[in-house]
Amino acid sequence: MRHLKAHRKLGRTTEHRMSMLRNLATSLINAQDERIITTLPKAKELRPFIERAITLSRKAQGLEGDNAAVQAVHLRRQAATFFHSGNRQQAASSGRRGQQRAPRTAGVAALKRLFDELGERFKDRPGGYTRIIKLGRREGDNAELAIIELVDNPKERLAIENAAKRAKSGGVGKKKTAKASESAAAKGGRRAGKDKADKTFEKEETTAARGSGEEVTDEQLEANKPQGGRRAKKTEQTAEEQDTNE
């Protein structure tokens, strides 16, 4: 039984592991295409970690009442613990040789984007903010790689819009083709169909007889048939020559 085995240690101490997850969360939020490539165990550990932070930003979007601003600040401070969003509990000059450590601006930017953009996007989505896609094994150490990305990202929205445009343009093209065929049949063009062929090889007398309801005789039908062309004449001449030769 897997008692007391809720998470993966990833071969790191607690402090190292939490710092790594904060860095991965910052990279995922600040990524332009909202996706990063890492190993599969890290992606599976990052998924619940980052989704808890997104849930805090989603709650901040639905606050109401007089103390909504105070609650929003409280939620923002809670979410700040998921990122390196400041030099908390560190001296002003704790770097090597007394150099002042640079501010952690990436975590601050990730926290701002989390509450300004992602909270608004996922305010009607009750969980499931990320997606993991397996990539196979990496050459060298044979580690299993994976992509972890935010759902409804810009690339995904662009693909949906392009598919909708293609479907719309395809329907318009079919309508244009149908209209063109109908207009060609109406004008009596080359592909007007059977009606044009009947009208072409039918004499006026036969047409008038059909319209008046009179019976069409066999003689009229025989006269209505098209006469043979040059090839028919040649065939008749050839037959006469054969008879003469015989």
Is residue 35 domain-shared with residue 124, that is, in the same domain?
yes
The answer, yes or no, to whether residue 105 has pLDDT greater than 70, is yes
Percentage of the chain lying above the pLDDT 70 cut: 61
Which residue bears the tokens 């395809």?
170
pLDDT of amino acid 244: 61
Looking at 41-50, 116-125, 170-179, which range is the least confident one?
A: 170-179
Same domain, 144 and 27: yes
Q: What is the mean pLDDT of the chain?
A: 79
- 225/184 same-domain check: yes
Per-residue pLDDT of 160-201, as tens digits, reads 989 988 888 876 666 666 666 666 666 655 554 455 444 455
Percent of the chain with pLDDT over 90: 37
Neighbours of 71 (CB within 10 A): 14
Domain that holds residue 214: 161-245
d(CA 112, CA 84): 13
Q: 111, 80 in Cβ contact below 8 A?
A: yes
Note the pLDDT of residue 28. Answer: 93
CATH assignment at residue 42: 3.90.1030.10
Q: Which residues of 51-64 are buried (b: 16+ CB within 10 A; e: fewer)?
A: eebbbbbbbbbeee
pTM of structure? 0.62
Top pLDDT among 98 and 19 is at 19
Please state the domain count of the chain: 2
pLDDT of residue 134 exceeding 90, the answer is: yes
Which segment, 72-81, 190-199, 221-230, is predicted with the most confidence on average? 72-81
Q: Is 95 a member of any domain? A: no
Tokens 């049949």 found at: 185
Query: Do 69 and 174 meet the contact criterion of CB atoms below 8 Å apart?
Result: no
Is the model more confident about 42 or about 95? 42
**pLDDT reading at 29 higher than 80:** yes
Return the ∠ at Cα 211 (arms to 206 and 213), rounded to 5°. Answer: 95
Considering the domain architecture, whether residues 139 and 176 belong to the same structural domain is answered as no
Return the closest-CA partner of residue 46 out of 76, 75, 18: 18
Instruction: Specify which of 104-113, 132-141, 198-207 reaches the highest per-range mean pLDDT.
Output: 132-141
Mean pLDDT (whole number) for 147-158: 89
Q: Which of 152, 169, 191 is the last residue before a domain boundary?
A: 152
Which of the two residues, 102 and 5, has the higher pLDDT score?
Answer: 5
Q: What is the DSSP string of the chain?
A: --TT--S--TTS-HHHHHHHHHHHHHHHHH-TTSEEEEEHHHHHHHHHHHHHHHHHHHHHHT--STTHHHHHHHHHHHHHTTTT-S-TT--TT-SGGGPPPPP-HHHHHHHHHIIIIIHHHTTT--S--EEEEEEEEPTTT-PEEEEEEETT-HHHHHHHHHHHHHHHHHHHHHHHHHHHHHHHHHHT-TT--HHHHHHHT--HHHHHHHHHTPPPPHHHHHHHSPPP-HHHHHHHHHHHHHHHH-
Query: Is there a single domain that holds both residue 140 and residue 32?
Result: yes
Question: Does the pLDDT value for residue 93 go beyond 70?
Answer: no
